[in-house]
Structure 1
Amino acid sequence: MKEYFHREDLLQDTGFTRLGHSSWLLVPAAEQYAEMPTILAACETFKRPCRVGDQDTFAWSVASVFTRPEFRGCGYATTMMSKLRDRLVAEHPKLGVSTLYSDIGPKYYDRLGWRLFPSDSVSSADLASVTSTSANWIDDVTALDLLAESYAHLPQRAADASRGISGRTAFAMSPTRQGLTWTN
């Protein structure tokens, strides 16, 4: 547990989380002002720059949805996610885009209002596993800048794609240096 809190402290002190990270907790109403309320379910959101069609805006990425084992099957995660969706829609009615990272698949979240759409994603190899002797190593800062720069065109591609899709709008979130640093 100590290592977990240390990791969380480090992650909270990055540029990515300062740009718009929130932790959400579902607690019993009777305990909402308690010093140590019972946490029934939790998740995180990250505000991220994106392009929706030809408009620069932002999206919310939802991650780390968790319910402690003893509270699973009681509907707490469903309640929390429904309340979160309602709050995001109420506070940002023109938002239109959120992304959800999940290990349990789309059917559960589809019931709560998130729709699955085809998507492309980019992942990077673990540089420590590269064994080529013909490669030159560069420092992490340079690598992050190069990686972020190499995907900077994605939002414009979303705008271009939206013009070619009847009745639909494409969106894209480019990796940022802050986001790449957060995941390392």
Structure 2
Amino acid sequence: MTEVSDEILLTRVASGDTAAMRTLYARHATRVLRFLIRLVRDEGRAEDLMSDVFFDVWRQASRFEGRSSVSTWMLSIARFKALSSFRKANDSALEPEMAEAVEDEADTPEVTVQKASKAEAMRRCLDRLSRDHREVVDLVYYHEKSVEEVARILNVPAATVKTRMFYARRKLAELLAEAGLERGWP
């Protein structure tokens, strides 16, 4: 089944083919999980959400309309699940015990040494972008999605994606400059 297209696999999944579902999962689980981890910033939560995503793929395979690639469709489901989890998290009040458990984010000597690593500095700069900007950067650069595909995943106009990319790049350049890194560092 490794040569079969995602669209055909999804058609088979819609008819209850568990082998097709396993193949689809094997192809896309890592990408979906990495996307979710970058969105929710919690690996355990991302794994739970990924299970929900693939459960929805199993249940909703027959609803796939083919207006985008299967991977784009699955990433849009993942994004919806992540955003829904944020809403649920915001609905619950922060308990005093939890507030005390929140770590002090002041730099320690160890963190200062880690910041010397350019890759670490880049990750830190990316983390400081707004969620909307991180999302667009993640989809375009890490998942290699086109502006149109990102627009479908985020359910926004393509012009909005372009605008977010413009401001995300600009902010990232500022953050990299603050971190003492040049744009073209190796």
Higher relative contact order, structure no. (Cα contacts within 8 Å, ≥ 6 residues apart): 1
The verdict on a shared fold, with TM-score over 0.5 as the criterion, is no
Structure that is richer in helix per residue:
2
TM-score normalised over the length of structure 1 = 0.30
